[in-house]
Chain A
Amino acid sequence: MTKLLEVRNVVHEFVVRGAGGLKGGTVHAVSDVSFDLNAGETLGLVGETGSGKSTLARCVVQAPRPKAGSVRFQGTELVGLRGRRLERARRDMQMVFQDPYGSLNPRWRISDIVEEPLIGYGDGNATNRRRRVRDLLDLVGLNPESYGRRHPRELSGGQCQRVAIARAIALQPALVVCDEPVSSLDVLIQAQVLNLLERLRTDLGLSYLFISHDLALVKQVSDRVAVMHLGQLCEIGPAEALYRSPRHPYTVDLLASIPSLDPNRPPASERAVASGEPPSPLAPPSGCRYRTRCPRAQDLCATERPLLRELGPGHQVACHFPEPVDEVEPAASATATVNGAKRPPWSTSAPSGHP
């Protein structure tokens, strides 16, 4: 598989100003993260607040440039490029953001918003551009005659997100970075926009870096999934394998915390394991940053940061004491004791009676 994106040892930090503008501390947002994204695939990036997933995504598009590390896109190193050369190298990479209204200029009309990238990269003449804008609006399910002349405030959140998508695909990018593209939308509209993204993926041969805090959503749209916690990459692997046999204790806890749609199963509150509060990104724990909440943690976890190791085909885990493989669905009352802490049963069985 051709590697569309190669991210190596990316680091990004934010300085937090205390009283009087003095440096109050550093948020270690992304700490030494590496991964690849192959042409034609959707890589899901999942994590909770403070995991660094959004910061990582922005570092990939060089907005902002990471403090350290390398981002090779289509074979070209992006970190270190400036001005026109960065624009050229970055042309095939576009982004869709979480806030449907925030990324659209409220004073522009919809057709102008979608046309902007075509002008910016000097594509074609005005007539060609406008035809392309109409085609793009059709492609995302918005009637150009009805919507072209409107302003974003006249559209719903879902419709604005469609406009953002139309704009993102205008230049026929190879990679679209989607940062929580449906989180602000109502449930039924989410499904519409997700299906649109999926359809465009197959019709236009797009690759996606899909960021979300919603694990079930990420699994549904992705080929491979990467799990982040407090700036560190915990686990990465094929979606099916990762969800069926999560190896990192944080992944296990995340999955156990998802509310079940089956009222007959014990609620997530009884299945979740992590104890205590998430640590602050201003003062992350040494070594493995999950160790303060991890039921499997031992001394080594504090002194040595675990590196990603391959534990299965394409399945890498950064953990000194990963969960053992357990593909058979455990019995409802079965628990295993590790370091005195219970490992909860967790299964992927569908609730009875539903597809």
Chain B
Amino acid sequence: MKETVLEVDDLHVRFDRDGQRVHAVNGLSYRLRAGRTLAIIGESGSGKTVSSRALMGLLPSTATVTGSARIDGLELIGLTEEEMREHRGADLAMVFQDPTRSLNPTMRIGSQIIEAIRAHTEVDSAAAKRRALELLSLVRIPDPQRRFHQYPHQLSGGMRQRVMIAIALASDPKVLIADEATTALDVTTQAQIMALLSELRSRLGTAIILISHDLGLAASYADEVIVMYAGRAVEYAPARILFGQMRMPYTRALFDAIPRLERASHSLLPVTPGQPPDLTALPAGCPFHPRCARAKPECRESRPPFVEHEIGHWWACWNPCKDGEPL
């Protein structure tokens, strides 16, 4: 049994801005084991990105974070920026959606990787350069010696993302968070980057958190999947179980809304009406109930608890989808 490398318990994040309180994350808990890939799936406002930035200590001062997130036993919530800097990169690292914004356009690639290496390790410049070249090879950038001296704008989007991954892995983190890391990439490049991440996971034993709105990505690359809505986990299961039978109607709605190759031309999609909820004024009861095809009176009155209803399969719903039943 692989050991648990990250434990998140009852994480809450709220933002207070201009007299308004936004409840971005409302009680998120999960476990991540070494070498496993966890996908956190949700749309905008689900809290998936905010929760990960909370772990990384990357939220603005308007954010209040409560709860617990322990990496290898070390508590991350409540650390000062100085303390967090020791762990960012060394224990957990993040790859963002837009490599153009995350890479310094005025610094050569090699220097940026060396910067990441030297943030956590005492090495001389020769050793750092060797390690940087190793990392460029690790992420399969062809001709690393030449690329080492180039600027980000001389690389394609896919290559920049590989450089981001190299930087993230510079200090051998236990957990790598890929926050919509392939969303801005073409589908063929996405396939290559995902292949790289899978390979790195096997070779280095890094645990990966994949944050995305793309359920297809979760199906293909994740061991376990959490679905979030309005700042909460609404369903969790190993991928094979989840895609075999989704219980929470929101998960089912997400799945049904994905365009499919198998559908006939001009077919109409199953539609979920309405909008995601206003995080400053969440409805009572289940946050999804105003849009849910299966809503019952109790869904409006009280919030369903997130419980392990079947082995390994958790959900929060008063009227979950039954086997084989359409939505």
Q: Quick check: is A260 within 8 A (CB to CB) of the other chain? A: yes
In the complex, the answer to whether A269 meets B213 with C-beta atoms within 8 Å is: no
Known: A186-B44, A264-B240, A267-B221. A215 touches B272 (CB 8 A): no
In the complex, the answer to whether B259 meets A216 with C-beta atoms within 8 Å is: yes
Q: Which residue of B215, B265, B275 is within 8 Å of A219 (Cβ)?
A: B265
In the complex, the answer to whether B257 meets A260 with C-beta atoms within 8 Å is: no
Q: Which residue of B44, B157, B243 is within 8 Å of A263 (Cβ)?
A: B243
Please report which residues of chain A, range 161-219, place their CB below 8 angstroms from some CB of chain B when the two chains form the complex.
Answer: 186-192, 194-195, 198-199, 201, 213-217, 219
Question: Interface segment, B7-15, B17-25, B119-127, B185-193?
Answer: B185-193
Known: A191-B257, A198-B266, A277-B158. A213 touches B243 (CB 8 A): no
Known: A188-B254, A188-B272, A215-B261. A48 touches B243 (CB 8 A): no
Q: Which residue of B142, B262, B275 is within 8 Å of A348 (Cβ)?
A: B262
In the complex, the answer to whether A262 meets B194 with C-beta atoms within 8 Å is: no
Bound complex: CA A190 to CA B259 (Å): 10
Size of chain B's interface in residues, with CB distance under 8 A?
52
**Contact-size category for A:** 35 or more
In the complex, the answer to whether B192 meets A272 with C-beta atoms within 8 Å is: yes
Using Cβ atoms and an 8 Å threshold, which residues of chain B touch A194? 259, 269
Known: A194-B269, A195-B269. A263 touches B239 (CB 8 A): yes
Q: Quick check: is B258 within 8 A (CB to CB) of the other chain? A: yes
In the complex, the answer to whether A260 meets B220 with C-beta atoms within 8 Å is: yes
Q: A227-248 toward B: CB 8 Å interface, digit per residue (1/0)?
A: 0000000000001100100000
Q: Which residue of A199, A214, A278 is within 8 Å of B156 (Cβ)?
A: A278
In the complex, the answer to whether B260 meets A216 with C-beta atoms within 8 Å is: yes
Q: Quick check: is A25 within 8 A (CB to CB) of the other chain? A: no
Question: Interface segment, A116-124, A250-258, A314-322, A331-339?
Answer: A250-258
Bound complex: CA A274 to CA B195 (Å): 13
Known: A190-B257, A219-B265, A263-B243. A49 touches B157 (CB 8 A): yes
Using Cβ atoms and an 8 Å threshold, which residues of chain B touch A268? 187, 190-191, 194, 220
Q: Which residue of B187, B273, B276 is within 8 Å of A192 (Cβ)?
A: B273
Please report which residues of chain A, range 1-43, place their CB below 8 angstroms from some CB of chain B when the two chains form the complex.
Answer: 42
Q: A49-B157, A259-B220, A261-B260 are in contact. List 7 more A-B contacts (CB 8 A).
A: A42-B265, A42-B266, A213-B186, A220-B259, A221-B266, A261-B243, A267-B198
27 cross-chain CB contacts under 8 A:
A42-B265, A187-B257, A188-B253, A188-B254, A188-B291, A191-B272, A192-B271, A192-B273, A194-B269, A195-B271, A198-B266, A216-B258, A216-B261, A220-B265, A220-B266, A239-B265, A258-B187, A258-B216, A259-B221, A261-B216, A269-B194, A269-B198, A272-B188, A272-B191, A278-B186, A348-B261, A353-B244
The 4 nearest A-B residue pairs measured at CB: A269-B195, A259-B216, A48-B186, A267-B220
